[in-house]
Amino acid sequence: MLSIVFNIIIYSGIVQGIYSALVLIHTRLRNPANTYLSTLLIVLSASILHSVFIAPYLEQYHQDTLLIKEPFILMVVPLIWFYVKKLNEPQFHLSRRQSFHFLPFTVVILIGLMFLSHNQSTNNDEQTLLHSFILSISISAFALVQYIFYLSYILKQIRSFKAKALSELSNTENIDLTWLRIFLFTFLTVFVLLVFMMVILIHRLNITYFNNIISIVFALAIYVLGYKGLFQQTILPVNTIGKLTEDKPSFESKIDDQVLNRLLDYMDRQKPYNDPELTLTSLADLVSIGRNQLSEVINSGTGSNFYDFVNKYRVDEVKQLMQNPKFKDFTILAIAFEAGFPSKSTFNSIFKKFTGLTPSVYRNRLL
């Protein structure tokens, strides 16, 4: 009964992967990164096909040749990296140089074909067996190094997303990194499989259900990535990302005090922070200051990033409204919305960050 359930999951994963890939290709205009995600889903489906149909055949008729348990693992991580990069940098395009990320997979496939081209009598040659074993270990070791290498870049990319959001947006309510964490979890799951595979090779263990384990994990990954990917937008606005990558402030130049005073005066008089969707770009347009110059003025002139700079004004506005008799019957949340905060959770965390108190405690102390 259990094997029937596993087979349903595995075979459905193949169908789901191909179907989701086709749907994502048609929705690539909504999210330019869908091209890479659809390719990843096809690779995962191909991996399941390899594990279920091709690998058992090779193990039956070429037991002593180079048996690469799962060559498609070498394609999974580069595709995850390209997807994450494209998701947040829509201007990114795969160049001929970057196609070398797939070179390890190509080399492994060629080596596997070379060994399989030998006749059955060669399988009994001890030297061939030794070379096959050494190559299998070397390929698995290389795959482990490859995963560690990409992991460092993916973590760096996630950290950079947070920094970009704080430098451009005053409201990060819609900046959800859960999707990137799902990809990271998928990445680590495949990594664990790779370590498991390494142990099997070193100890020359014979685990009959190893291919099924890979297939089930990849099938579950297809379900999650295919479903979530259909609804995932770029994490930061496209025009924002382009400016963030191309228009970096120069902190070596001297801050113009007149520009800083003009900014602070505009913030006090016009209160643009009341708009919960205020961004660095929109504020630059309102104040008639270059975006690059405004970013430099805020960072060097006030010692804050854009996110903290704007939300400090919102907190001060809330504190003033709490003391205003006209707002004595307003709830704390209503006052927060009046000041430009987008939600209760964001308001509570930011207010406590700048005052050290919760909004309710602060208001009670005013009574």
Confidence at residue 142, expressed as pLDDT on a 0 to 100 scale:
80
Count of C-beta atoms within a 10 Å radius of residue 227? 11
C-alpha to C-alpha distance for 191 and 140, rounded to whole angstroms = 11
> Domain residues of the chain, as ranges?
2-240, 248-366
Buried b / exposed e along 313-348 (16+ C-beta atoms within 10 A):
bbbebbbebbeeeeeeeeebeebbbebbbbeeebbb
More confident of the two residues 127 and 277: 277
Q: Is 284 helix (H, G, I), strand (E, B) or coil?
A: helix
Please check whether residue 111 is in contact with residue 66, taking contact to mean a CB–CB distance below 8 angstroms: yes
Going by C-alpha positions, the residue among 29, 307, 274 that lies closest to residue 298 is: 307
Quick one: pLDDT band at residue 96, thresholds 50, 70, 90? confident
Please check whether residue 287 is in contact with residue 266, taking contact to mean a CB–CB distance below 8 angstroms: yes
Mean pLDDT (whole number) for 92-116: 81
Residue 255 is given by DSSP the state: P
248-366 matches 2-240 in CATH topology: no
Six-digit token string for 210: 């190893």
pLDDT digit string, tens, across residues 31-76: 778 888 899 899 989 888 877 777 666 665 555 444 555 678 788 8
CA atoms within 13 A on the CB side of 224: 15
Taking all residues of the chain, what is their mean pLDDT, rounded to a whole number?
78
C-alpha to C-alpha distance for 197 and 180, rounded to whole angstroms = 26
Confidence at residue 333, expressed as pLDDT on a 0 to 100 scale:
94
Q: Which amino acid, one-letter code, is at 26?
A: H
Going by C-alpha positions, the residue among 150, 178, 154, 166 that lies closest to residue 73 is: 150
Please check whether residue 84 is in contact with residue 177, taking contact to mean a CB–CB distance below 8 angstroms: no
**Which residues neighbour 290 within 8 Å (Cβ) at sequence distance 6 or greater?**
284
248-366 falls under which CATH superfamily?
A: Homeodomain-like (1.10.10.60)
Quick one: pLDDT band at residue 128, thresholds 50, 70, 90? low
- At the second CATH level, the architecture of 2-240 is Up-down Bundle (1.20)
Confidence at residue 358, expressed as pLDDT on a 0 to 100 scale:
94
